[in-house]
């Protein structure tokens, strides 16, 4: 998750069924450096010319690539820090970075290359989760409410109705009624105006803890200028773009008074928008970076007290206020996989509850008809089927049909190699319909100190040229990464089909050797061919 504050990447892990079962896991925040934050700000400017959601000006395309690689590194750092293997993660929910949000034009753009992230991490990715909501008449935001509803039970029924308040760059509200009803909408500027004001005045990225604001005073005329904005006076709720509110002009206030006024506006806008909720909440649970600004929190507490309500920092409920949005994106990804709704009429104004998201498997190698991708949990059944008969197993491994236990062992070993080095025997799928074709890839052979090309194709797919196609594709893939290296391949001396394929690939026959007690013809690649 990279939010409108553009301060960094949040990574969180959930174990969930996408319904009421939620087990929260570890969390990691990876901050952006000042140079990259400046590039993101420029990206917001470059995106203003976009009129169609697939458009990417050259500068934005380059930024999207860099942003995705940073997300991939954040995922890898998270897994390493928590001793988790990529294969143990079922799906990554990828928000990307919002660079343009025009709900009135049904246009929202989150840059982030889901295919690249999947390839770099080796994990299934769900991304672009806002667009389908807009296609069906919604505002495209907020998407977090369905997650808030899932965790609302953790605060107890006596706190209901409750309003979850996420104060990020833009603030949004989620109302959970005692009967489970959900209502949600953006409530106004959160941290973004404060961040822009403080950075312009001091060079600091934000007002840490609200320290600057606490030394200032509210400027009533400046506060009124924001709170009389049509967004607050209108009875129609709409989602907001970062650019819908501009920071004060130099001279409107001193540094301290400007920060204090904007903190007040962040709090007051929440209550100005809360009048649109179905009922007055008894409890406000504050999440996001704004909960760390003491000036905002003090104003929220005072305003809530006027309504006989209480304000609670999410951290005080054993909910991580920093991790919640990243957790929500993991939750949404699981719901997307199950085709469950992500948005509802009461959250985004969509005509009817809809799911959304683009699903992307990690593609290691791709040919005209085939995709090579890492194995996933439960795939041992595919491998057993691949080598389930004497006919399909006679020329591989021990020459005997594979058991589920043996298949699981082989997959584990191949994934160990792939996750460590990027090389391994992986799952082969048809590009057109995703059906299982077989296995293919490279293994490192200690006994020969060389890479070995190998493949097996399902009996039902024999005679269609898949072995030759993936062999050529993998050869090219190998030499793109290791142009000065070579690899070997071998086939049982009686396996006429595989021998013919290896000859078609242009490999050089070397000698016949014993492998696992059986005779195999060995082949050698020519460097860079």
Mean of the per-residue pLDDT values of the chain: 94
Residues 382 and 499 in one domain: yes
**pLDDT by residue (tens digit) across 103-159?**
989 899 999 999 999 999 999 999 999 999 999 999 999 999 999 999 998 888 888
The last residue of one of the domains, among 287, 308, 329, is 308
Residues 421 and 344 in one domain: no
CATH number at residue 446: 3.40.630.30
Residues 373 and 520 in one domain: yes
Residues 94 and 115 in one domain: yes
What lies within 8 Å, CB to CB, of 227 at 6+ separation is 265, 268, 269, 272
**pLDDT by residue (tens digit) across 461-510?**
999 999 999 999 999 999 999 998 999 999 999 999 999 999 999 999 99
User: What is the predicted pLDDT for the residue at 69?
Assistant: 98
Handedness of CA 466, 524, 392, 373 (dihedral sign): negative
At residue 255, does pLDDT exceed 70? yes
Q: How far apart are CA 232 and CA 227, in angstroms?
A: 6
Residues 403 and 446 in one domain: yes
DSSP H/E element including 148: helix 145-151
DSSP H/E element including 236: none
Q: For residue 264, count other CB atoms closer than 10 A to its CB.
A: 25
Residues 121 and 180 in one domain: no
| Lowest mean per-residue pLDDT among 72-86, 230-244, 264-278, 475-489 | 230-244
**pLDDT by residue (tens digit) across 164-196?**
999 999 999 999 999 889 999 999 999 999 999
Q: What is the mean pLDDT of residues 60-69?
A: 97
Domain count along the chain: 3
Q: How far apart are CA 490 and CA 484, in angstroms?
A: 21
Residues 123 and 39 in one domain: yes
What lies within 8 Å, CB to CB, of 447 at 6+ separation is none
* Residue 31, domain member (yes or no): yes
User: What is the predicted pLDDT for the residue at 446?
Assistant: 87
**Residue 75 belongs to domain spanning:** 1-137+321-362
User: What is the predicted pLDDT for the residue at 392?
Assistant: 81
Q: For 29, phi and psi rounded to 5 degrees?
A: -115, 130
Residues 150 and 39 in one domain: no
DSSP H/E element including 170: strand 170-176
Q: Kindly state the percentage of the chain with pLDDT values over 90.
A: 87
As beta bridge partners, residue 8 has 31
* Residue 314, domain member (yes or no): no
**pLDDT by residue (tens digit) across 202-219?**
999 999 999 999 999 999
Residues 348 and 409 in one domain: no
Q: What is the mean pLDDT of residues 397-410?
A: 90
Binding site per annotation, positions = 3-10
Q: How confident is the model at residue 4 (pLDDT cuts 50, 70, 90)?
A: confident
Q: Give one word for 25, left, alpha or beta, with left for phi > 0 and alpha for psi -120 to 50.
A: beta
Whole-model pTM? Answer: 0.90
Residues 249 and 338 in one domain: no
Q: What is the mean pLDDT of residues 9-23?
A: 96
* Residue 313, domain member (yes or no): no
What lies within 8 Å, CB to CB, of 480 at 6+ separation is none
Handedness of CA 79, 80, 86, 87 (dihedral sign): negative
Q: How far apart are CA 131 and CA 486, in angstroms?
A: 46
User: What is the predicted pLDDT for the residue at 21?
Assistant: 95
* Residue 315, domain member (yes or no): no
Q: For residue 440, count other CB atoms closer than 10 A to its CB.
A: 25
Binding site per annotation, positions for ATP = 3-10
Pairing label, strands 162-167, 283-287: parallel
* Residue 448, domain member (yes or no): yes
User: What is the predicted pLDDT for the residue at 528?
Assistant: 59
* Residue 327, domain member (yes or no): yes
* Residue 24, domain member (yes or no): yes
Handedness of CA 139, 142, 147, 153 (dihedral sign): negative
User: What is the predicted pLDDT for the residue at 3?
Assistant: 84
Contact 164, 325 (CB under 8 A): no
* Residue 390, domain member (yes or no): yes
At 161 the three-state DSSP class reads coil
CATH number at residue 198: 3.30.420.40
What lies within 8 Å, CB to CB, of 234 at 6+ separation is none
Residues 157 and 273 in one domain: yes
Q: What is the mean pLDDT of residues 341-368?
A: 97
N- to C-terminal Cα distance for the chain?
A: 42
Residues 148 and 130 in one domain: no
């Amino acid at each position: 998750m990279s939010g409108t504050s553009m301060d960094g990447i949040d990574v969180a892990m959930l174990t969930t069924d996408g319904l009421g079962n939620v087990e929260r896991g570890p969390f990691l925040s990876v901050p952006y450096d000042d140079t990259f934050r400046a590039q993101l700000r420029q990206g917001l400017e470059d995106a203003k010319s976009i009129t169609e959601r697939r458009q990417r000006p050259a500068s934005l395309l380059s930024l999207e690539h860099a942003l995705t690689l940073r997300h991939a590194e954040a995922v890898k750092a998270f897994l390493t820090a928590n001793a988790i293997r990529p294969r143990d993660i079922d799906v990554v929910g990828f928000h990307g970075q919002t660079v343009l949000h025009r709900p009135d034009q049904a246009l929202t753009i989150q840059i982030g290359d889901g295919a690249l992230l999947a390839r770099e991490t080796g994990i299934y990715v769900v991304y672009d989760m806002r667009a389908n909501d807009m296609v069906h008449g919604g505002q495209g935001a907020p998407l977090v409410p369905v997650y808030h509803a899932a965790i609302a039970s953790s605060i107890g029924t006596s706190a209901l109705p409750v309003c979850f308040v996420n104060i990020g760059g833009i603030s949004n509200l989620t109302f959970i009624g005692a009967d489970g009803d959900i209502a949600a909408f953006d409530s106004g500027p959160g941290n973004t105006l404060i961040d822009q004001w403080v950075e312009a005045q001091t060079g600091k990225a934000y007002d840490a803890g609200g320290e600057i604001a606490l030394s200032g005073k509210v400027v009533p005329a400046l506060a009124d200028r924001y709170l009389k904005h049509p967004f607050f006076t209108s009875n129609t709720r709409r989602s907001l773009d970062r650019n819908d509110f501009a920071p004060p002009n130099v001279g409107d206030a001193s540094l301290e008074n400007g920060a204090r006024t904007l903190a007040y506006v962040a709090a007051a806008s929440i209550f100005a928008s809360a009048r649109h909720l179905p009922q007055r909440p008894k409890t406000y649970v504050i999440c996001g970076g704004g909960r760390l600004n003491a000036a905002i929190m003090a104003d929220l507490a005072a305003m809530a007290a006027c309504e006989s309500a209480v304000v609670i920092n999410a951290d005080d409920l054993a909910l991580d206020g920093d991790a919640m949005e990243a957790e929500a994106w993991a939750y949404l990804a699981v719901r997307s996989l199950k085709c469950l709704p992500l948005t509802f009429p009461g959250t985004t104004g969509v005509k009817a509850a809809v799911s959304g998201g683009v699903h992307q498997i990690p593609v290691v190698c791709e040919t005209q008809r085939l995709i090579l991708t890492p194995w996933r949990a439960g795939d041992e059944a595919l491998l057993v089927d691949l080598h389930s008969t004497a006919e399909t197993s006679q020329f591989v491994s021990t020459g005997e049909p594979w058991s589920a236990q043996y298949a699981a062992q082989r997959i584990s070993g191949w994934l160990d190699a792939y996750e460590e080095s990027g090389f391994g025997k992986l799952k082969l799928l048809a590009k057109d319909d995703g059906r299982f074709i077989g296995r293919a890839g490279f293994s490192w052979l200690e006994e020969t100190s060389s890479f070995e090309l190998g493949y097996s194709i399902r009996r039902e797919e024999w005679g269609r040229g898949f072995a030759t196609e993936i062999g050529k594709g993998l050869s090219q893939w190998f030499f793109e990464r290791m142009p000065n290296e070579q690899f070997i391949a071998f086939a049982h001396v009686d396996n006429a089909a595989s021998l013919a394929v290896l000859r078609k690939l242009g490999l050089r026959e070397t000698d016949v050797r014993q492998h696992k007690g059986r005779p195999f013809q060995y082949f050698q690649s020519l460097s860079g061919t």
